Amino acid sequence: MVGNLSIVASKKILMIILDGLADRPVAELGNKTPLQVASKPNLNWFAENGKCGLMDPIAPGVRPGSDTSHLALLGYDPGEVYTGRGPFEAVGVGLSLQEGDVAFRCNFGTIDENGIIKDRRAGRIKEGTS
């Protein structure tokens, strides 16, 4: 190995991606995020004993989605290989895609009698989850 690569190759690394962990403040929680009020001793242990930081997995200023970020974190250039989220979702539910197949991903929404979107994901559970 050359330079620092021999050091990295001899170590085992555990990379934990906390995808979707961020959230927005909730009025009922005193304008704190669910993560701020949650009991999280295991996450606290990792934060205290590991290396933590922020990164731009794709590029500065580019808002990363789960799909494109995971590609980038694994060394792929999303600009070159990303074909959309549909193939990820299809494989995730056990479908086998072949060359030439097209896979789409979508959400079904709920609208009121005036056509106003009430929920951008129909069927979301809002009660009884605690």
**Enclosing domain of residue 38:** 1-53
Q: Would 85 be classed as within a structural domain?
A: no
- The C-alpha atoms of residue 8 and residue 5 are separated, in whole angstroms, by 5
Q: Number of structural domains, the chain?
A: 1
H or E, element range at 110? strand 110-111
Model confidence pLDDT, tens digit, residues 76-89:
998 898 888 898 88
Residue 58 in domain: no
What residues contact residue 34 under an 8 Å CB cut-off, 6+ apart? 23, 26
- Overall size of the chain counted in residues: 130
Is 46 buried (19+), middle (13-18) or exposed (0-12) by CB count in 10 A?
A: middle
Residue 39: inside a domain: yes
Asked if residue 36 is part of any domain, the answer here is yes
In a domain, 110, yes or no: no
More confident residue, 70 or 96: 96
CA distance 26 to 2: 50
The pLDDT tens digits of the residues spanning 45-93 come to 988 988 877 778 888 888 788 888 888 888 899 889 888 889 888 888 8
Residue 82 forms part of a structural domain:
no
pLDDT of 39 higher than 90:
yes
- Is residue 129 over pLDDT 60? no
